Structure 1
Amino acid sequence: MAEEVERVAQELRGCFRSGRTRPAEWRAAQLKALVRMIEDKENDISDALHADLAKPRMESYLHEISLAKGACIFALKGMKNWMKPEKVPAAITTFPSTATIVPEPLGVVLIISAWNYPFLLSIDPVIGAIAAGNAVVLKPSEIAPATSSLFAKLLPEYVDSSCIKVVEGGVDETTALLAQKWDKIFYTGNGHVGRIVMAAAAKHLTPVALELGGKCPVIVDSNVDLHVAVKRIAVGKWGCNNGQACIAPDYIITTKTFVTELVDSLKRVLERFYGEDPLQSADLSRIVNSKHFHRIAKLIEDKKVAEKIVLGGQTDEKQLKIAPTVLVDVPHDTALMTEEIFGPLLPIVTVDKIEESIEHINAGTKPLAAYLFSRNKKLQQEFIANVSSGGMLVNDVALHLANPHLPFGGVGDSGTGSYHGKFTFDCFSHKKAVLVRGFGGEANARYPPYTPEKQRILRGLIKGSFFALILALLGFPREKR
């Protein structure tokens, strides 16, 4: 395997050095091919997502297929402008000159994808890497084998396989890939593997983008339209892979006086969404595999947790399904409250005053996303100003990732770097500083021997003195030839 991976890396290195990926025409052709692939193979993509996660077709289209196609089209429309050098002001000390920032492709990049949105989280960074002019290796997640196999089959049929390749496999293949030198590694997944990726990248001083997760909080104030708020929370939690999403709400914070009303509303909305027996609902994704099923089930087997369940808790190992489950005031020292849940369990933390929720969030690690539901403008401002997270929404959840003009990424333990839209192009580009001068405009004051008069002129130039510039350009003090 190591030899095969090395061969792939060397082939891509040769492809990139040939300049094949740099022209705008090549980049556009690959993106147009991806659009055709998504259009032609929509049913195959939906089938693969259903095989991997029992994902409803509507979720597959809304959360993966449509967003992937939209990212392609957005990149096609913006790419030529993104590629243009950006003119910037020249400094007085370099007069006369022109200064530009030139975006150039980093080279050969490795993209390691996640299993929970296995199509979107694979193709979205690939789109930006291609738009930026790179050669690409995509490593899909082996935990979503149907989607991984589909990529291995479809991409060579549609794109330039000499510059864009898929490597399937598990830990051994990923380890072999990480042993190679890349010009950037883009990883989506959990913090444990993220540290392994970063350690491997450090050996080659390879830059990394880590799209991780964390315990995403939702503050629910009593000053809300509760029915609308609960519908949005419910679809953002259970309508996104049954909670298996990095930006899904991990826990709610509300006041002790409002929690009963909130729980009652959650019960009504969840029954409307998934019926009286949610384990039989075709609109609820299953847990991805037996390992993750048992991991989540174990969280509520703890007696201190089980007694706090106010809704749900049912499990079906045969179907790998766990019902939407709501809990109230679970002890803070339990695994449910300290680990990222990544599943259909939603604990509610109660506080005396809603303002205390900000302090509660800041006592933990920085989340990938933070959410607030409130009409209170002052609380909204305090939330935005004082909570550090990768992104945040007021009065909704998860929708920020649908805006290609916003960067998507984490901070601290929830990740490093960002992407989506032009930010993906930037993620896979180097911003090269370019200064161009002619042979005129010689300033003798910059050259030895350094006299007090030259020092005065140079100090004036550094301070931006126009008079000092004129003296310097006139050659004062005079240089003997």
Structure 2
Amino acid sequence: MTISQLMDQQKRYYQTGSTRGLAFRLTQLKKLKQAIVERESEIIQALRTDLNKGEKEAYAFEIGIVYQEIAHVIKHLKRWMKPKKVKSPMTHSGSRSYIIPEPLGAALIIAPWNYPFMLAFDPLIGAIAAGNTVVLKPSELAPAVSAVMTSIVRATFEPQYIAVVEGGVEESRALLEQPFDKIFFTGSVAVGKIVMEAAAKHLTRVTLELGGKSPCIVHHDAHIKLAAQRIAFGKFSNAGQTCVAPDYLLVHRNVKDKLLAYLQEAIKSFYGDNPLLSPEYGKIISRRHYERLRHFLNDGKVAIGGLADDQTLQIEPTVLENIKWDMPVMQEEIFGPILPVLTYDNLDEVVGLIQARPKPLALYVFSEDKKVQDVMLEQISFGGGCVNDTLMHFGSTHLPVGGVGESGMGSYHGEMSFHIFSHMKSILKQTTRFDIPFRYPSSQIGLKIIRRLTKL
């Protein structure tokens, strides 16, 4: 079956209305969960093969988040689907107003390679909950996970409802030529622009989950040891290949040396004396990405780590100091286990430095002072983040995740996932027991009444 034929098949199936009922949607979500439960060990092994993820990280960052999302959606879906009654203005006397969620139709989900299971199935849950058909495109850079996901989907759903298209750039290009009703893309800014350009030809709605250089600010009053532990967790999980990982540190000059000492201590406690031998430490997804990261090791001075293995495609958790803003490591999202450190003297300096650059996907601030926290949260635009932690906002079904500006558009997770795959249809039901004559051109006092009512 060609991609065009698959598109036509999904469009026809959607038009039958089969995907719209609450019972159908709940059944599909439960089927998906059961299929994942039955193949959990295969998913974990595939994540080990593609990214060298340990079992704990694979479950916590990929499978567990998907289970949590399914449970949350099942619990709340009935309420989300109900028409919502809203107020009607006085000019609409006698009417009742509603907002009715309806599915968009056929959705395309293009998943990345860094969290290849979670970032494919998490938006899939939202698309199913909203009543759409779906074509899922996994990343070819994570072939083991792609194969398991394809097997799960094909064993669980009919292709006219949920289908998987594997492949590389050619297949992605062919999919983007199709008139989907929704495209959900997670990946780089450069590819996000290609996706948006393709979507524009069909006026297709898009959600773009992109990235950027997410700053992590450590003020002098922070709990430094705990900050180091949480920063090391956020930066070096998945070998730094996380879109919301801290990309660089802005540390108050007075606590820089103390923070670096605690970072070294945290890295050792996580991965031992030789992280490259740790079963809990990941690898870089491909040689091309590995070589790109290796070049960054030439910037500044290595303060922690710095070793690399050309055979296993691994780079130690590395911290760089003596960094300048014009160095290559500061010109693009790192997306690897390399953490540049820059210092500052006052908060105005921090705000100015971050505001001068594209809006990041995440921001993290470590400080015990609420005024410091408020300055960062109010004066800097970013997608989402944490105060005194890293990454953890992403794992909450109650917090929408998404970017702003170059870091993306649209948010998902929990109820927001339902909304981004839905159209909120506005309906006004007007009474026939009486009419409102002042709205008609023939009314002599119509304008006077409208002026009075609209100024109340």
TM-score in terms of structure 2 length: 0.98
- Counterpart residue number, 1:293: 290
Q: Secondary structure of the residue that 2:140 maps to in structure 1?
A: coil
- Counterpart residue number, 2:338: 345
- Counterpart residue number, 1:133: 131
Moved more, 455-464 or 364-373: 455-464
Instruction: Give ranges in structure 1 of 5+ residues lacking alignment.
Output: 465-481
Pick aligned residue for 1:310 from 281, 285, 303:
303
Residues 187, 209 of structure 2: 8 Å contact kept: yes
User: What RMSD, in angstroms, separates the aligned Cα atoms of the two structures?
Assistant: 1.2
Amino acid of the structure 2 residue aligned with 1:105: P
Q: Secondary structure of the residue that 2:285 maps to in structure 1?
A: coil
Structure 1 residue 308 displacement after superposition: 1.4
Moved more, 395-404 or 453-462: 453-462
- Counterpart residue number, 2:248: 251
Amino acid of the structure 1 residue aligned with 2:257: T
Matched, 1:322 2:315: yes
- Counterpart residue number, 1:479: none
- Counterpart residue number, 1:272: 269
Alpha-carbon distance in 1 for matches of 2:446, 2:88: 22
Alpha-carbon distance in 2 for matches of 1:319, 1:54: 10
Pick aligned residue for 2:424 from 431, 453, 467:
431
- Counterpart residue number, 1:357: 350
- Counterpart residue number, 1:163: 161
Q: Secondary structure of the residue that 2:333 maps to in structure 1?
A: coil
Structure 1 residue 355 displacement after superposition: 4.5
- Counterpart residue number, 2:374: 381
Alpha-carbon distance in 1 for matches of 2:453, 2:264: 71
Amino acid of the structure 1 residue aligned with 2:412: Y
Alpha-carbon distance in 1 for matches of 2:274, 2:455: 74
- Counterpart residue number, 1:51: 49
Structure 1 residue 273 displacement after superposition: 1.6
Residues 215, 339 of structure 1: 8 Å contact kept: yes
Pick aligned residue for 2:390 from 394, 397, 400:
397
Pick aligned residue for 2:71 from 67, 70, 73:
73
Alpha-carbon distance in 1 for matches of 2:387, 2:30: 35
Instruction: Give ranges in structure 2 of 5+ residues lacking alignment.
Output: none
Q: Secondary structure of the residue that 2:426 maps to in structure 1?
A: strand
- Counterpart residue number, 1:459: 451
Residues 157, 163 of structure 2: 8 Å contact kept: no
Residues 255, 354 of structure 1: 8 Å contact kept: no
Amino acid of the structure 2 residue aligned with 1:311: I
Alpha-carbon distance in 2 for matches of 1:259, 1:462: 59
Structure 1 residue 461 displacement after superposition: 3.3
Alpha-carbon distance in 2 for matches of 1:237, 1:59: 13
Within 5 A, what are the aligned runs for 1:57-96? 57-96=55-94
Question: 1:401-450: CA deviations, max 9, x gaps?
Answer: 11111110000010000000000000100000000012232122222335
Distance 1:56 1:42, change over 3 A: same
Pick aligned residue for 1:409 from 402, 410, 419:
402
Matched, 1:442 2:452: no
Structure 1 residue 354 displacement after superposition: 4.3
Alpha-carbon distance in 1 for matches of 2:365, 2:34: 39
Structure 1 residue 92 displacement after superposition: 1.2
Distance 1:162 1:375, change over 3 A: same
Alpha-carbon distance in 2 for matches of 1:455, 1:236: 61
Moved more, 442-451 or 398-407: 442-451
Pick aligned residue for 2:104 from 103, 106, 119:
106
Moved over 4 A (4+): none
Residues 93, 436 of structure 2: 8 Å contact kept: no
Amino acid of the structure 2 residue aligned with 1:325: T
TM-score in terms of structure 1 length: 0.93
Q: Secondary structure of the residue that 1:393 maps to in structure 2?
A: strand
Pick aligned residue for 2:234 from 233, 236, 248:
236
Alpha-carbon distance in 1 for matches of 2:203, 2:19: 23
Alpha-carbon distance in 2 for matches of 1:46, 1:109: 27
Alpha-carbon distance in 2 for matches of 1:28, 1:156: 19
Distance 1:462 1:225, change over 3 A: closer
Alpha-carbon distance in 2 for matches of 1:261, 1:454: 74
The percentage of counterpart residues that share the same residue type is: 44
Alpha-carbon distance in 1 for matches of 2:53, 2:182: 31
Alpha-carbon distance in 2 for matches of 1:437, 1:74: 36
Alpha-carbon distance in 2 for matches of 1:81, 1:201: 31
Amino acid of the structure 1 residue aligned with 2:130: A
- Counterpart residue number, 2:365: 372
Structure 1 residue 105 displacement after superposition: 0.3
Alpha-carbon distance in 1 for matches of 2:447, 2:330: 64
Structure 1 residue 256 displacement after superposition: 2.1
Question: 1:377-398: CA deviations, max 9, x gaps?
Answer: 1101111111110002100000
- Counterpart residue number, 1:202: 200
Moved more, 346-355 or 427-436: 346-355
Within 5 A, what are the aligned runs for 1:175-186? 175-186=173-184
Pick aligned residue for 1:118 from 116, 119, 129:
116
Q: Secondary structure of the residue that 2:365 maps to in structure 1?
A: strand
Alpha-carbon distance in 2 for matches of 1:225, 1:332: 27
Question: 1:229-273: CA deviations, max 9, x gaps?
Answer: 11110011112x110000111000012222111111111221222
Amino acid of the structure 1 residue aligned with 2:265: R
Moved more, 57-66 or 442-451: 442-451
Residues 355, 379 of structure 1: 8 Å contact kept: no
Amino acid of the structure 2 residue aligned with 1:91: P
Residues 95, 441 of structure 1: 8 Å contact kept: no
Residues 29, 129 of structure 2: 8 Å contact kept: yes
Larger Rg: 1
- Counterpart residue number, 1:476: none
Q: Secondary structure of the residue that 2:2 maps to in structure 1?
A: helix
Alpha-carbon distance in 1 for matches of 2:455, 2:344: 55
Residues 36, 152 of structure 2: 8 Å contact kept: no
